[in-house]
Amino acid sequence: MRRWAMDFLTLFAVYVVAVLTCIALVCRYSGRQQTPFTLLLDCVWRVIAPVTPEWLRRCSHGAVHKLFHQRNTMFIYLHLLLEGAVYAEFTCEVVGYCREMDTTLTSLSVPYVLLAVKSFLFYLCITTDPGSVTKQSVAGQLQVYPYDKRMFHPGISCPTCLLLKPARSKHCRTCNRCVQRFDHHCVWVNNCIGAQNTRYFLLYLLSVCAMAGDVALLTADMLLHAVLRSGLLRASYIDDDGTRQTAGPLFVMQHLFLTFPRIVFMLGFLVFVFFLLAGYALFHCYLALVNQTSNEWYKSRGLVCRHCRPGAAAHHQRGPAPDRSQRHYYSRGLLKNLAEIFLPLQPALKKSN
């Protein structure tokens, strides 16, 4: 029994460390070109490249480039695969146990309602044009937002699109287009997040969090009832030294892990997804409240850091350090900021003579 306890504690500790490390890395390096993962991948590639055949190097380089630097649907299929696996396990095993515990049909139907809502928002994120800057639309988009002359300057053209860049726009190298009010490129929806689909993306994040949280709560409630019905909390066992021990939380967790392994792993995955996406969703809710994009948030951090560096006096002479109001230059108040997310500002139409 002691060996089982040590094995379980080791597995659980590794799992917790892995989850916390992933959350910390996502929060620290989200949106950056250089991350520990890319640096590690570059180091590994430099080591194995000399002993790799030329044809395999070309294929590997092309596959990596297509996966991370071109639009592709692989992450959409991966998203659907993971979602299908979770709902298959939930439907085939958890729902049956919940029905035995007299869980109401209303409670069991909520995850499927959330799945339908999430799927609709997911579809809108994928198919909605984020606000592409084109020859036909650029004249009107130039009038939507003023230039703050810190992050966005008038008169600058995109070297790829050869069009004037409207304020708050950015060229996406993955989609090969400039996007109005560019936030970021999301590989999970194979699309940029911009002026016209930020509302769908924000609601999509919230719906995924609600879906994962609800399925996790129903699953945890099922496991709790299984423990209470089995009488494990009142049970005892003989340890390796021949001493009778009362079954504690560790014994109960091991029992659940051995009795319902797929359900326990599914619950762990859902908890991980919930906390990971909940933090990400809260970050985007904050951006919506202050009328800022992820792109602008990263840029504003860079402006502040440059002014805070030692020896930056010469830079201060060319202009004052950005304050908080300048970092939230486009904020127009809480309600108007939210209204701009859900009712995006439209390009001004030229009046015909």
pLDDT tens digits for range 277-335: 999 999 999 999 999 999 999 888 766 555 555 554 444 444 444 454 566 889 999 99
CB atoms within 10 A of CB 135: 9
Residues 57 and 102 in one domain: no
Residue 265's pLDDT is 87
Question: What's the whole-model pTM score?
Answer: 0.78
Residues 117 and 56 in one domain: no
Residues 28 and 107 in one domain: no
Q: Where is 166: in which H helix or E strand?
A: none
Residues 290 and 319 in one domain: yes
In a domain? residue 123? yes
Residues 41 and 108 in one domain: no
Residue 12's pLDDT is 60
Residues 276 and 341 in one domain: yes
Residues 335 and 237 in one domain: yes
The closest alpha carbon to 201, from 174, 177, 181, 171, belongs to 181
In a domain? residue 149? no
Domain count, the chain: 2
In a domain? residue 325? yes
Residues 53 and 202 in one domain: no
Residue 210's pLDDT is 96
Instruction: Name the residues annotated as catalytic.
Output: 186
CB 250 within 8 A of CB 5: yes
Residues 262 and 330 in one domain: yes
Low-confidence ranges of the chain (pLDDT < 50): 1-6, 30-31, 33, 65, 312-322, 324, 350-353
Residues 88 and 47 in one domain: no
Residue 328's pLDDT is 83
Rounded Cα distance between 126 and 244, Å, is 59
- Report the largest interatomic distance among the alpha carbons of the chain, rounded to a whole angstrom: 97
In a domain? residue 304? yes
Identify the domain containing residue 95 by its residue range: 76-130+198-348
In a domain? residue 258? yes
Positive/negative CA dihedral, 266, 279, 297, 132: positive
In a domain? residue 225? yes
Residues 39 and 117 in one domain: no
3-state secondary structure of 286: helix
Rounded Cα distance between 146 and 123, Å, is 32
The closest alpha carbon to 118, from 185, 188, 67, belongs to 188
Q: Among 33, 54, 69, identify where a domain stops.
A: 69
CB 155 within 8 A of CB 174: no
In a domain? residue 148? no
Residue 91's pLDDT is 94
In a domain? residue 178? no
Residues 335 and 282 in one domain: yes
